[in-house]
Amino acid sequence: MNSGIRKILVIIFVIVLQSCNSQQKRKVLGNSDFQIAMNSEFKDASKSPLTKRGLRKFKGLDFFKINDMYKVTAKIVKTPDAPNFHFPTTKGTVVVYKKYGIVSFKIADKNFELAIYKDIKPSEKYQNHLFLPFFDKTNGKTSYEGGRFIDVLTTDETQNGTILIDFNEAYNPYCAYSNRYSCPITPRDNYLDIEINAGVKAYKK
| Cα–Cα distance list, 147 to 8, 135, 151, 157 (Å) | 56, 5, 14, 24
> How far, in Å, CA of 116 to CA of 130, rounded?
7
**Each residue's pLDDT tens digit, 47-76:** 999 999 999 999 999 999 999 999 999 999
For the chain, which residues make up each domain, given as ranges?
62-176
Burial class from Cβ neighbours inside 10 Å (0-12, 13-18, 19+) for residue 129 reads middle
Backbone angles phi, psi at 123, to 5 degrees: -70, 165
Is the pLDDT confidence value at 28 over 50?
no
Residue type, 194: I
Is the pLDDT confidence value at 36 over 90?
yes
**Each residue's pLDDT tens digit, 180-196:** 999 999 999 999 999 99
The HSE-up count of residue 16 (CA atoms within 13 Å, CB side) is 6
**Each residue's pLDDT tens digit, 110-121:** 999 999 999 999
Contact 134, 147 (CB under 8 A): yes
